Amino acid sequence: MELRVIDKTDEELRMEVAGEDHTFMNVIKGALLRTQGVAAATYDMNPEQSGGQTEPILSIKTEPGVDPLDALGEASRGVQTTVDEFSAAFEAAAQ
């Protein structure tokens, strides 16, 4: 996975997430939408509507005073926690 910031302001972020597909992008979008201070989160993967772009573009809009990079970090940590909990439950069930 490669990340490239396209645009960033105090309350908005557009970032290319190279090498990912809908599976990952839906997970991170969902986590962002559950993150306090995030007003909107979406991604675009449609090359015809995106000027030929083929890698997903993640867009985040936050409420005033919330840095979108901080929100992305919090959402990412939440995904990791969920994965860790699932892995532990799976291991316990498999024994």
- Cβ atoms within 10 A of the Cβ of 52, count? 7
Count of domains observed in the chain: 1
What CA–CA distance (Å, rounded) separates 20 from 22?
7
Tokens 């439950």 locate to 89
Domain residues for the domain of 68 are 2-94
pLDDT value of position 5: 96
pLDDT value of position 61: 98
pLDDT value of position 48: 62
Q: Which CATH number does the domain housing residue 90 bear?
A: 3.30.1360.10
What CA–CA distance (Å, rounded) separates 17 from 21?
9
Show pLDDT as tens, one digit a residue, over the chain (95 residues). Answer: 999 999 999 999 999 999 999 999 999 999 999 999 999 999 998 756 656 667 899 999 999 999 999 999 999 999 999 999 999 999 999 98
Model pTM score: 0.86
